[in-house]
């Protein structure tokens, strides 16, 4: 166990996995120097047979990942900001998500796509999107949204070692945060939510960047005598539907918190699952605390109005419980 | 692999091999055209009739370990690279014994064991995939090459320029095999394409040639030079093969088009330059084969096609569960 | 009133709107000859100052729509199959959806994007997607999914005359179907669902291609004495949340039917809305009948297993009502 | 619009105008650099310092009714095209009196009333938008042109090739103004760019030139030729302006980069070729202006900048409700 920063752990994990398996390669724009710090030092360690700075051509980067993976490599593709996934979206949606089925299972695609996501730094609309809803809808893609350094390590190892295209979305705005990380080599299985705080009054389901305000809300609520259970999905595809429903069965009340825009968000999907599989346990409406259906504004005050925070979560819970 | 000496003229064996492959493609597709008309195919087919020399001339220079990607018009690429007609037809019939187990259909025929990464329904979709396969080939260090077949229409997709750039920078063993068949869907190429395509590749310093795509020897020569260059680590090449699709863009077009987009004379002009007829004439006049030998090849092919047709039509329906197995994300 | 085919009505409407406003222009791949029949005859009528066959370059087509609209034209862009929206996704997600906000409202973007969608014709994975979930999540884009010739006319006029980017998604597989269409000039407002069959036992909410099987299911159910109310959303952005909830308040039971893949689908969004705003009226779980999270297979039998149909809807309703 | 005679040499008025505009950009951005260091800016800024001659030389040839699109490094384009510094600074401060009412920030400064379609945070994002504006300009029939400023890095995006193609085919009044500043983010251009960029445009038959982007007269001349061509309906032109960004890619880079990516000598080499210093020397030596006149210009600019800074810093916070108003889809 050691306290480490989120981005530092991702960096160490990438290096460990590249040491472990010579078939792991990595490329992207300016990965050699590293914008976010996650790919620092890889060039020095592994040289230009394992890591490449690419030109700016996202449409090709995503397509190449498919080709290189189909031809036997474990590809790590760094797409920098999540909005640039849209630029490379064709091969994600039309090839990466579909090739295995279209070829009748002839091919495995061990691809890990890294991208930072989320708002809060006044990067404005083209650098602040939360992209997982569109990825979740495509089918055939796994999506991880680690919130803690320990999960970042375990989920990234699982992503790289797995045989499916996996989006590993970094909560960049939280890259500097510290957390305890086990020293040993471990993978964290996808599809198992983690309960960060137990409680019997209400379930707060969340993921990625929203875990921090959700946990803060959990603390604020417990000071008011409301025991919230805070559930971190950790991965969105697969989603721990049973784990979420189990918590709702305990509490009967649920608020889903998501940094995605509301329409067709992860929150909406989770709410739909609960309204189906968890319906009989529900004692109140399923509430969503999400980003409204707007582009992210630049001005800090406007941005903060749009991004969910602990206060909004807390007041939603209070209203839900009638307290 | 061909040695330096072989490069200028294919051997008799190679010529016959190419003849056979071209004729196989032709007969398979003529069969598919009939099948389509008879309402036997569940989906649509884009036929390669008239373009056979391109795929065959190129693939004659390749081994099973080399990679190719095809297009929506992909049966010819698959068969030229040594793909088995039986499971291809079964695939187009949507059967369990199809090469993709009925999951892909005509636009997705693939056989990884033969280096056939597959046809593609997205115009230009194969370019970046090929660059990725070429990167893998380079890292493998076993002198493989990766060839992308793509149309003149696909050459207007930005990913074409992007892959020209990255393949040059990274010296990828990649070959851009552009099939200029005079149409981009229903648009005459010059109405949607400015300048000459080889100039686009030349802007990156990539060796670029234009060949008569209906002359299989010409294609074979240009392919040989490109393959040699790629295998020797010198990077990508671009070939534009001028050719023509004799059939419509898609077999179903007669049902949905209200206007016409080309003249009968134009089609006839190209029929006169049929690549198979030309090779046949060459084989006969050069004495590589006589009528009897060619007839024997043909009857062999006809048997192959009949057997494939039989295989396809008697195949079981696709296994529906497979959809879920293959798309599983390990949901707990 | 006259009986007309869906695609024919779209064609006539395009021509009417181009007559009406000289600022309306139209381009796309092979729109002159027309794959689906919706743009037939426009070249002859208006010439090459109003309609253009474009090269195959979706990334540019979507971006050009933004530029031409920003510079004062009403752009109709035909993207052919919905999967090609992914190819042109960058400018949709990063420019079209965001430019108005980013410029502080300096610009209006009167853009209508046409694309055919849906499966059922063995076009396989790359020509069968139902793309509205990803569009719905982007914010700033309207989405229409007309199911009938009459709605196609009214919604298309509203789309073209409106000042926002609007996706008008055609149920291509149903292009040949007939329906009564009023002769006069009319627009159909967005965000108002239409009730195609009234009923008190269960609400079936649906849209676009799924309206037909939903209506068929409604008929089958009424033969069994179950009165289903069939609600056609008609537009997904905006969505008639109140109308949907009103119906659920009447019936207490709801099944949402959608041809999109389930995760983050329109169905999930609608279910989430109901689980929130309609919760107190609900007497049973909110059920979704959707495409599972898979790519569309080619084989007809496999495809039919994946696409929702009247039988699946009917049996879901029966199970829900315990009948 | 300039007549044929003006084309070879800018008038004294034009030179002074360009000098003033370049200096304005420089001083505004030096101010922004200070503001950033002082922690006063909510977001990031990419500065144009060193590249001013490109935007100014180009925009001197344009009218308000012409369209331009900029890049993430877009303050210079905005100011060169006549954008007001006050609301630009207020925008970068995220204030209600910003040109985009605080909704866009540095990467999205735009002023449609001046033909400034806006900066863009997506590399290459302006290319297709400009082609669309050029289509509109062509249809309007009022001889407007549309200019896309984009970086050498953006020239590797496929949309560059796509717009070269479509603008040629449709004879759009579009100008591709490529600012080759030696870096694509932190990568030296030649590590990510194969061949010469003008050759890419030439492959489409587009007239293409390379100019010294730190010599405003050179840029102005090339721009004039391209604008004339576009206005007379002959279609697109491509200009590569060789220049250098003196500041980092982004002001914040000192905080997050662990390594260095360029040598101090290289920066110094380019400082010696500073476009403003060069024009200044030229103005003095040719007698167009004396030190006093230039000092007066400078003090005017300093006042403008101070006023803009004041305007920005005293602006109200952005109106949060606006987000919802502007994004409304008419939800009932
Ligand atoms: C991304 C994308 N856009 C459009 C289409 C529709 N489409 C299918 S084939 C085709 C024309 C392709 O022309 P070309 O590349 O010359 O190939 P050819 O059909 O001539 O073999 C088009 C536009 C598609 N399949 N994918
Ligand atoms: C689509 C996209 N990919 C990547 C980035 C990240 N990025 C911002 S600027 C930049 C480099 C651009 O280089 P160039 O076009 O030469 O412009 P310069 O910064 O030199 O002015 C990159 C990669 C982006 N903003 N958009
Ligand atoms: Mg073609
Ligand atoms: Mg640059």
* pLDDT given for residue B2 in this prediction: 43
CA-based nearest distance B62→chain D, Å: 27
Record: contact A64-B99, CB cut-off 8 A: no
Determine phi and psi for D26, rounding to 5 degrees: -60, -45
Residue B95 gets which letter from DSSP? B
Q: Which residues line ligand 1 (CB under 6 A)?
A: B 71-73, 121-123, 151-154, 181, 183-185, 249; C 29, 56, 58, 80, 84, 87
* pLDDT given for residue D172 in this prediction: 98
Q: Give the nearest ligand 1 atom to B125 CA.
A: 1
Please compute, for residue A271, the number of CA atoms within 13 A of its CA located in the half-sphere on the CB side. 34
CA–CA dist B164, B205 (Å, integer): 9
pTM over 0.90: yes
Q: What is the DSSP string of D50-104?
A: T-HHHHHHHHTT--TTSEEE--SS-HHHHHHTT--HHHHHHHHTTBTTSTTTTSS
Alpha-helix runs per DSSP H in chain B: 12-37, 52-59, 75-80, 85-92, 125-140, 158-169, 189-192, 197-202, 216-231, 253-256, 264-271, 275-285, 291-313, 321-327
Q: What is the DSSP string of B19-82?
A: HHHHHHHHHHHHHHHHHHHTT--SS-----TT-HHHHHHHHTT--TTSEEE--SS-HHHHHHTT
Determine phi and psi for D265, rounding to 5 degrees: -60, -40
CA of B163: which chain A residue's CA is closest? A60
Q: Report percent pLDDT > 70 for chain B.
A: 97
CB A127 within 8 A of CB A81: yes
- Residues B7-29 have pLDDT tens digits of 689 999 999 999 999 999 999 99
C-alpha of residue C29 to centroid of ligand 1, in Å: 9
B4 pLDDT above the threshold of 60? no
Of the candidates D199, B65, B185, B110, the residue with the CA atom closest to the CA atom of residue A98? B110
Record: contact B100-A106, CB cut-off 8 A: yes
CA–CA dist A26, A73 (Å, integer): 10
Question: Residue D167: CB within 6 Å of ligand 2?
Answer: no
CA–CA dist C262, A148 (Å, integer): 28
CA-based nearest distance D251→chain A, Å: 13
Mean pLDDT of C238-247: 98
How many Cβ pairs within 8 Å bridge chains A and D? 123
Among B169, B194, B202, the residue with its CB nearest the CB of D204 is B194
Helix B125-140 / helix A58-70 crossing angle, nearest 10 deg: 50
B53 pLDDT above the threshold of 50? yes
D2 pLDDT above the threshold of 70? no
Burial class (CB in 10 A: 0-12, 13-18, 19+), B4: exposed
CA-based nearest distance A307→chain D, Å: 12
3-state secondary structure of C182: coil
Which ligand minimizes its atom distance to the CA of B123?
Answer: 1
C-alpha of residue D181 to centroid of ligand 4, in Å: 5
Instruction: Work out the pLDDT band at C287, boundaries 50, 70, 90.
Output: very high
How many Cβ pairs within 8 Å bridge chains B and C? 124
Q: Which residues of C147-174 are buried (b: 16+ CB within 10 A; e: fewer)?
A: bbbbbbbbbbbbbbbbebbbbbbbbbbb
- Residues B160-203 have pLDDT tens digits of 999 999 999 999 999 999 999 999 999 999 999 999 999 999 99
D332 pLDDT above the threshold of 90? no
Residue reference for tokens 């919130």: A147
Distance of alpha carbon C7 from its chain centroid, rounded?
14
- Residues D260-295 have pLDDT tens digits of 899 999 999 999 999 999 999 999 999 999 999 999
Pairing of strands A178-181, A2-5: antiparallel
Residue A56 gets which letter from DSSP? S
Question: Residue A319: CB within 6 Å of ligand 2?
Answer: no
Among D100, D132, D331, the residue with its CB nearest the CB of C104 is D100
3-state secondary structure of C195: strand
CB atoms within 10 A of CB D271: 12
C222 pLDDT above the threshold of 90? yes
Average pLDDT, chain D: 96
CB A87 within 8 A of CB A115: no
- Residues C47-67 have pLDDT tens digits of 999 999 999 999 999 999 999
* pLDDT given for residue D1 in this prediction: 40
CA–CA dist C269, C230 (Å, integer): 18
CA–CA dist A37, B53 (Å, integer): 51
Active site residue A127: yes
Distance of alpha carbon A110 from its chain centroid, rounded?
18
Q: Which C-chain residues 153-192 have CB contacts (< 8 A) with chain D?
A: 164, 190-192
Q: Which ipTM value was assigned to this complex?
A: 0.98
Of the candidates D225, D256, D247, the residue with the CA atom closest to the CA atom of residue D238? D225
Listed as ranges, residues in chain A with pLDDT below 70 are none
CA–CA dist C149, B273 (Å, integer): 47
């Amino acid at each position: 166990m050691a306290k480490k920063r989120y981005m530092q752990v991702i960096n160490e994990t990438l290096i460990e996995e590249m040491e472990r398996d010579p078939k792991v390669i990595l490329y992207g724009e300016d990965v050699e120097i590293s914008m976010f710090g996650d790919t620092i030092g890889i060039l020095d360690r592994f040289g230009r047979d394992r890591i490449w700075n690419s030109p700016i051509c996202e449409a090709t980067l995503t397509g190449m990942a498919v080709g290189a993976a189909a031809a036997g490599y474990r590809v790590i593709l760094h797409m920098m900001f999540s909005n640039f996934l849209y630029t490379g979206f064709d091969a994600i949606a039309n090839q990466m998500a579909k090739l295995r089925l279209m070829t009748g299972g002839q091919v495995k695609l061990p691809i890990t796509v890294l991208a930072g996501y989320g708002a809060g730094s006044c990067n404005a609309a083209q650098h602040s999107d939360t992209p997982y809803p569109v990825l979740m809808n495509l089918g055939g893609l796994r999506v991880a949204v680690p919130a803690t350094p320990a999960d970042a390590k375990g989920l990234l190892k699982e992503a790289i070692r797995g045989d499916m295209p996996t989006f590993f979305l970094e909560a960049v705005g939280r890259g500097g945060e510290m957390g305890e990380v086990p020293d040993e080599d471990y993978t964290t299985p996808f599809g198992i939510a983690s309960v960060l705080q137990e409680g019997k009054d209400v379930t707060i389901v969340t993921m990625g960047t929203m875990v921090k305000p959700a946990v803060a809300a959990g603390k604020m609520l417990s000071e008011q005598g409301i025991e919230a259970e805070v559930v971190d999905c950790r991965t969105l595809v697969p989603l721990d539907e049973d784990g979420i429903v189990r918590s709702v069965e305990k509490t009967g009340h649920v608020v889903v918190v998501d940094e995605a825009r509301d329409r067709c968000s992860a929150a909406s999907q989770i709410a739909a699952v609960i309204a189906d599989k968890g319906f009989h346990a529900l004692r109140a409406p399923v509430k969503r605390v999400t980003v409204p259906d707007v582009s992210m504004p630049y001005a800090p005050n406007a941005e903060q109005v749009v991004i969910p925070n602990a206060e909004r979560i807390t007041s939603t819970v209070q209203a839900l419980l009638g307290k | 692999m061909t040695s330096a000496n072989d490069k200028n003229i294919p051997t008799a064996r190679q010529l016959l091999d190419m003849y056979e492959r071209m004729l196989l493609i032709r007969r398979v597709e003529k069969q598919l055209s009939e099948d389509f008309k008879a309402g036997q195919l569940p989906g649509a087919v884009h036929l390669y009739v008239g373009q056979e020399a391109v795929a065959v001339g190129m693939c004659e220079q390749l081994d099973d370990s080399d990679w190719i990607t095809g297009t929506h018009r992909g049966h010819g690429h698959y068969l030229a690279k040594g793909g088995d007609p039986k499971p291809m037809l079964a695939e187009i019939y949507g059967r369990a014994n199809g090469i993709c187990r009925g999951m892909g259909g005509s636009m997705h025929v693939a056989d990884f064991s033969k280096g056939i990464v597959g046809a593609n329904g997205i115009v230009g979709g194969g370019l970046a995939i090929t660059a990725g396969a070429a990167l893998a080939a380079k890292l493998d260090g076993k002198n493989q090459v990766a060839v992308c077949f793509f149309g003149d229409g696909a050459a207007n997709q930005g990913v074409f320029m992007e892959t020209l750039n990255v393949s040059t920078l990274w010296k990828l063993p990649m070959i851009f095999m552009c099939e200029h068949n005079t149409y981009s869907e229903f648009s005459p190429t010059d109405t949607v394409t400015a300048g000459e395509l080889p100039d686009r590749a030349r802007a990156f310093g990539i060796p670029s040639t234009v060949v008569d795509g209906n002359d299989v020897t010409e294609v074979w020569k240009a392919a040989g030079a490109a393959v040699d260059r790629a295998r020797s680590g010198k990077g990508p090449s671009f070939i534009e093969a001028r050719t023509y699709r004799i059939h419509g863009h898609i077999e179903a077009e007669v049902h949905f088009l209200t206007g016409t987009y080309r003249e009968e004379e134009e089609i006839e002009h190209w029929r006169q330059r049929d690549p198979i007829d030309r090779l046949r004439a060459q084989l006969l006049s050069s004495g590589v084969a006589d009528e009897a030998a060619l007839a024997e090849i043909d009857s062999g092919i006809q048997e192959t096609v009949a057997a494939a047709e039989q295989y396809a039509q008697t195949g079981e329906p696709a296994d529906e569960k497979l959809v879920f197995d293959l798309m599983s994300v390990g949901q707990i």
